[in-house]
Each structure stands twice: as structure tokens, then as C-alpha cells.
Chains A and B, each alone.
Chain A
Amino acid sequence: MPGSAATGSASPIVATLKESAVAALVAAVLAVPLLGLQTVQEPGGLTLHTRWTWVGIAVGAVFLGRLLLNVAIAAISQRRAARQQRSATSLGQAVNRYAVSLTAAALLFAVALPFLPFTDRYVLDVSILVLTYIMLGWGLNIVVGLAGLLDLGYVAFYAVGAYSYALFAQNFDLGFWACLPLAGMLAAMFGLLLGFPVLRLRGDYLAIVTLGFGEMIRIILINWQSLTNGSNGITGIPRPTFFGLPFAASAPADTTTFHQFFDISFSPLQRIIFLYYVILVLALITNAFTLRIRRLPVGRAWEALREDETACRSLGINPTNTKLTAFSIGAMFAGFAGSFFATRQGFISPESFVFLESAIILAIVVLGGLGSQIGVVIAAIVLIGGPEIVRQLEEFRMLAFGGLMVLIMIWRPRGLLSYREPTIRLRPRDRRAAVASDAATKALP
């Protein structure tokens, strides 16, 4: 129909012109007093000079700028609309196709990292930080990605883990390896405690309650002076030992240090490298657990709950218990990560467990693509490693960080990698055929 086509193409142009004119008008209103009038100190007192050319330039620039911006946005969005859905899944599929080799390469790199030529103390520190967030991301992925429970207070469990290690170590003289499971169990228990009353809530309401819970834990930590030393935090948390062998230049008389035992010269890097491997192993355990449990009844029930809770009830799945397991298992991994954080820092205070941390962990999960394990890794490297790499930008760091998040959400609204591989196939085929059939599936109306 030519008529409708003509109006269809004409109206956006008119709208664009109108929008630009409005922008120009606003600019004019602002520019007349701000740019057009200038007070100049002259012998006779202040006089008013006018600079109408400046106003004209400003208004013209705003008009043209708005016009060009609109045209550009229209062109981009038209192209993107056609491509978006396809590219989001196809990137996920592409990564999925090469998942085995990619994972192997990444794993090899991660294992070899401490001994690569460019690796120094700084690189190791950043890598440990990134790995901590990868582990937290994988842990939260169980809750948010698999079970679909929006948890804005995940950092509370991280704090429980950190404080339980610090307090057990100081008050009962327990080592890191004894405290690690205890911290995980305590965090899981807190997950249950929180979960029981609130998991009847859905969506936004759950998010608000978990957000409140995160703040509660932090405020309790600040105010329970006698136990937690309030906002001064806990200092002198014992460093981890190599299964009993401390990392120290010289040891007390009755113990052997790590470097003495292995008869190598002492270097402060040894402890850092050890910490790196500890968090690497912890993170990999989290990942292996998640990958395994996805294929078990509980994991499938989590995903089913995320898809449709009503249908789950009609199939005899207990929604409350199923959510509770997801919540407390996610909390447990945060507890592990927390006690690692405490031993690595040697000092913890409530300042480390503010809401921003929860938000960053959630951002890692969401930007990576809900439920995608590799996506979490990439997002953690980008979000945690990125700001470290561009530290030269100084105060513009957070601006760049925000900009990056906006860009990811524009290009990949469903996360970097949003492709889900079924947990079980009737006919296990070679991956290429599987991907082709999934593409055919997607093409259907």
C-alpha cells in the first residue's frame, strides 16, 4: 500500500524534526541567559553585553546534533532489530560448540598463570580478586540463574562466611581448613533461616526482603561490638597454612615453614601463589557442583521452578523445599568464598560487605547470561579485571564501568551468552547436528 508506506516514512522524519526543534528550543531558553548575556565590569560599574552569535551557534549545534543522533539511532536500531535475537543465541551457541576446547584452554591458562613470565604480584592479586568474584558469581548463579530467585543480599552470606572464619580462628584457634566447611555450613544455615519465612514471596518482593537481609547482617556486624569489634573490624586473622606448614621467612622453634620443608628459598610470592590455587580449586569445585546438579532431579526442579512455579506444584514438586535448597546451597558457596576472603585479607570489617558488592555479583551473573557458567567467567573478568586494568583512568573508572554495563545490556539484553544446553538428550548427537537442530527449532514460529 503506497499510501501507508508514504505516511510511514514521513512521520518519523516529522517526529525527528519536531524533537530536534524542541531540543533547540530548550537550548535557546537556556542559552539566552547563560551564553547570550554577559556581565562585564567596566569603569561605570557592571554592564550587560549580548552575544547573540554564541546563542545562535549553540542552538544550531543542539538542533543538528539531536537530528544526527536520531538518524543514527534509527539506523542502528533497524539493523539491530533484525539481528539481535539471532546473534545473542548464536554467540552462545558458538561458544557452546567450542566449549570443550575453550574450557580446556582457559583452565590451562589459569593453572599456568602464576608461572608465566609477565606474572608479578599485582597480576596475581588481581587474578585472585577476579577468581573470588567468579566463584561468587557461580554461587549466585545457582540462586538467580537456575532457580530464578532474585537475591539482592547475597553479600550477607559472604559476610557470614568471612566473620565465621575470623571468629572461629581467633576464639577457638581453628585453622583455615577446619573453618572452611564450618563457614560454608553456617552460611547455608543462614540461608535456610532467611529462606523459611521469605521464599513464599516472588520476584520483586523477594528481592526487597533479601536486600533488607543483606543490610541487616551488615548493621548487626557494626553494632555487635562485643563479638565483631564493630566497624573497626577484626584484625590479625591467621593466614592460611600449606596443610600445617606456615608461609613465613622464619618459624617459631617447633614448626617447619613451607620453604624449609621443601628446601627452597623463601619468597613472599609463595603465599600468594598458594592463595591463588586455593581460590582456583574452590571456584572449580563450585562450577563442577553446579554442572553436576543441573543434571540431577533437584537441579531440574530448580530450572522448572524458574520457568513455571504453578506447573511445578501441579506435578507434585514441593516449591518451598526446592527453593530452600537452592538458596542455602548458593549461600554455602558464598560462605566458602567469604572465609577465603578473610584469610587472604587478614582483616575484615563491615565496610567490605556493602550493598554494592551484592550488586556487582548480581551484575556479573546477569551480564554473563543467566545460568551460563562461561558467561559468568567472562563477565567477572570484564567487570572486576576491567576496572583494574584501566586504573589509569582514575576517577573515570566507575564511569567507564557503568558505560560498559549499559553497552552490554544494549547489545546483549539477555546476557553475553544466553544459550541453554538441555541437561539430557534422548539421542546424544554430535554437537554440530545438535546446534543445527536447535537453530531449526529457533526458526519455527
Chain B
Amino acid sequence: MAVEPVPPAEALLVVEHLTMRFGGLIAIDDVSFIANRREITAIIGPNGAGKTTVFNCLTGFYKPSVGRLTLHHPRRGPFLLERMEGFRIPQQAGVARTFQNIRLFSGMSVLENLIVAQHNALMRASAFSLAGLLALGRYRRAERAAVERARHWLDQIGLIDRADWIAGSLPYGDQRRLEIARAMCIEPVLLCLDEPAAGLNPRETADLNRLLLDIRASEGIGILLIEHDMSVVMGISDHVVVLDYGRKIADAAPQEVRNDPHVIRAYLGEDEDEALPPEVLQDLGDTVKGR
């Protein structure tokens, strides 16, 4: 992997004391971390650790109970994400996301999906559709530019030949990549991917890794990644944050995280000898020995 040494990048996203409570349930408990520009930050953890909740707080689907989420946009200055209305976070702060269960506009064509993503730019160009209604040249130019951008991303994800297909009819792996391309079409500074490798075969996963490295290298944006597939996490991330039961238990480079005893315990469970009373161990004896 020939990745250029990343210069000491400034912080792009600063999460401070993020806490999310649903009634009595504490889904995220005082989590702080930093995601840098031109870096891939992975958030990992066992199921139910609160990873997707972090994303939902970042992208405005939830309002955090406590905490500050600051996004340092390189051109537009800092944004306090926890105070912004949901749709303004992608629109103004440039935070794009994908979903764990793919959310494409499945009845629309692949190209249309990418054009819809450029809605705000096109709305400005068409003077809220008035210029477009009158078929002014300004809108036609803007639409051509939007198609060009879409074409660029279709090239990147290898779907240029299927641009006019109905998005819902694409194979699963293509839908995953299309969702990433659609998120990139809003020109984000931070791309949040929720389990992009889920359901992909090894070859598709390798393609995905390459795509994400390309995006990091050519667009210079930060990528925040939730993933269970360790080949992705260990292969491409610069920095790993580990959550367990809503708490941050590790925050380091992939190699360090891999050997961190806390992380190993979170994933593989407590050492049985210490944690379980002897009579339970007796009952479980065969099972434990079998493993």
C-alpha cells in the first residue's frame, strides 16, 4: 500500500463528552475523540456498543443529551453540530453519511440518485427552480456540471455502464458503493460510513478499501468508519476508536488497539476462570473444553 505519509493534519471533528440517554438507558457515556482531516478513523466495538448512535448524533438524527461536537470546516469555519437542524449538517457543515441498511432512492435511476445528492447546488443554480422552469442557460450549465460530477463518481465506483439502471435493481455490492458515491456528491468534508463492508464478498471488500483510500488521497477529506470487518479496519484506518457499552475503551493506532487487553476482553469476554463461580464452570465444563 503506497500511501503518502500523512502530514500532521489538523483536527476535523472534535467530539467532547458526548452522552446520549434514551430514558434510563445510556447509549453513549461521555465519549470524546478527534477525527483528523485526511485520515480514516474507525469506530469499532461489539454489537450494541453505541457506534451507530454516535453517527446519528453527528448527523443530526439524534440530539445529544450532553456534549459538544465541533466540525472545523476548512473553508466555512467551525460548526457546532449538536445545535444544527438535521438537514443543515450535510448542507452547510458538509457531513455526509451512509446507512447500515442501504437507503438508496431505489425506484430512481443510478444517475438520478447522484443528481438528487447535488440538490442544494442545483437549487441555487436554478434560482429555486425558477430559472430551470424558464429553461435558462444558467440552469442547463449547472445540470451539465452535476452530470459531470456524477460521471466522475460513477467512474470511480465502476458503475458508469449502469448509470441508467434503476438503483434498486443493482446487485448488493454495487448498491453499497453507489451509496458512498451519492454521499460524495454533496462534496463533504467528513464522510461517515456505517458498516460499508457489511455483506460484501472479499473481492468487493478489497475494492471498497481501494475506493476509500482513493477518496482520502484525492479529496483530502476525513472519513469516519463503523466496521466489523477487521480486514477493513486494520487495513486502511489510521486511527481506531473502540467503544464498549457506550464507553470509549481505546483510542489508538490499529496495531496498538489490536493488542490492547481491554479491547480483547470487550470482544472475547472476561477471563472465565476469574469471572464465573466454580459451579457454573462445572456446568459449562464440556463446552469450555470443547473450545
Which residues in A have some Cβ–Cβ distance to B below 8 Å? 289, 292-293, 295-301, 303-304, 307-308, 310-319, 420, 422-427, 434, 437-438, 441-442, 444
Contact = CB atoms under 8 A, between A and B. Distances in A.
Interface of chain A: mostly helix, strand, loop or mixed: helix
Given A314-B183, A424-B112, 4 more contacts: A296-B126, A303-B112, A307-B107, A437-B165
Interface centre among A289, A308, A424, A425, by most chain B C-beta atoms within 10 angstroms, is A424
B268 interface: no
B106 A317 contact: no
A347 B112 CA distance: 47
B119 interface: yes
B63 to A, nearest CB: 14
B29 to A, nearest CB: 25
Given A296-B129, A426-B151, A314 B119 contact: no
B185 to A, nearest CB: 8
A317 B111 contact: no
B133 A292 contact: yes
A299 B60 CA distance: 25
A228 to B, nearest CB: 35
A295 B61 CA distance: 29
A319 B120 CA distance: 12
A422 B111 contact: yes
A315 B163 contact: no
Interface string B175-200: 00000001100100000000000000
Interface stretch (B91-99, B229-237, B271-279): B91-99
19 contacts: A289-B133, A297-B129, A301-B116, A303-B105, A304-B105, A304-B116, A304-B119, A308-B104, A311-B99, A313-B61, A315-B182, A316-B90, A316-B186, A317-B116, A420-B107, A424-B143, A426-B151, A426-B163, A441-B169
Contacts of A296: 126, 129, 132-133, 139
A298 B86 CA distance: 19
A304 B109 CA distance: 11
Contacts of B36: none
A300 B115 CA distance: 8
Contacts, number: 129
A425 to B, nearest CB: 5
Interface of B: 59-61, 86-92, 96-97, 99, 103-109, 111-112, 115-117, 119-120, 122-123, 126, 128-129, 132-133, 139, 143, 147, 150-151, 154, 160, 163-166, 169, 171, 182-183, 186
Contacts of A304: 105, 108, 116, 119
Contacts of A310: 61, 99, 103
B164 A422 contact: yes
A281 B36 CA distance: 59
A274 to B, nearest CB: 28
Interface centre among A289, A296, A437, A442, by most chain B C-beta atoms within 10 angstroms, is A296
Contacts of B59: 314
Interface centre among A295, A317, A319, by most chain B C-beta atoms within 10 angstroms, is A317
A442 B169 contact: yes
A311 B119 CA distance: 13
Contact of B108 (A307, A314, A319, A438): A307
A295 B171 CA distance: 27
B164 A311 contact: no
Interface centre among B87, B97, B123, by most chain A C-beta atoms within 10 angstroms, is B87
Given A425-B164, A426-B164, A444-B169, A316 B112 contact: no
Chain A to chain B: the 3 pairs with minimum beta-carbon distance, closest first: A316-B91, A316-B90, A426-B163
Interface centre among A308, A311, A434, A437, by most chain B C-beta atoms within 10 angstroms, is A311
Given A296-B129, A296-B133, A441-B169, A427 B163 contact: yes
A363 B25 CA distance: 46
A444 B117 CA distance: 26
Contacts of B89: 316
A316 B169 CA distance: 25
Interface centre among B59, B60, B150, B164, by most chain A C-beta atoms within 10 angstroms, is B164
A308 B150 CA distance: 20
Nearest to B105: A307
A37 to B, nearest CB: 61
A103 B153 CA distance: 37
A314 B112 contact: no
B87 A300 contact: no
Interface centre among B59, B119, B166, by most chain A C-beta atoms within 10 angstroms, is B119
Nearest to B163: A426
Contact of B112 (A315, A423, A434): A423
Interface centre among A420, A422, A425, A437, by most chain B C-beta atoms within 10 angstroms, is A422
B91 to A, nearest CB: 3
B115 A424 contact: yes
A303 B186 CA distance: 18
Contacts of A297: 119, 122-123, 126, 129, 132
A307 B151 CA distance: 23
A313 B133 contact: no
A300 B116 contact: yes
Interface centre among B88, B99, B169, B186, by most chain A C-beta atoms within 10 angstroms, is B169
Contacts of B99: 310-311, 314
Interface centre among B104, B109, B133, by most chain A C-beta atoms within 10 angstroms, is B109
Given A296-B129, A315-B182, A437 B119 contact: no
A442 B163 CA distance: 15
Nearest to A423: B112
Contact of A308 (B90, B105, B129): B105
Given A318-B87, A422-B108, A422-B112, A298 B128 contact: yes
Contact of B166 (A300, A318, A425, A438): A438
A88 B139 CA distance: 35
B112 A317 contact: no
Given A297-B122, A438-B166, A314 B96 contact: yes
A312 B99 CA distance: 12
A288 to B, nearest CB: 10
Contacts of A312: 87, 116
Contacts of A307: 105-108
Contact of B109 (A295, A301, A311, A422): A422
A432 to B, nearest CB: 14
Contacts of A444: 169, 171
A118 B166 CA distance: 46
Contact of B129 (A298, A319, A422, A427): A298
A217 to B, nearest CB: 28
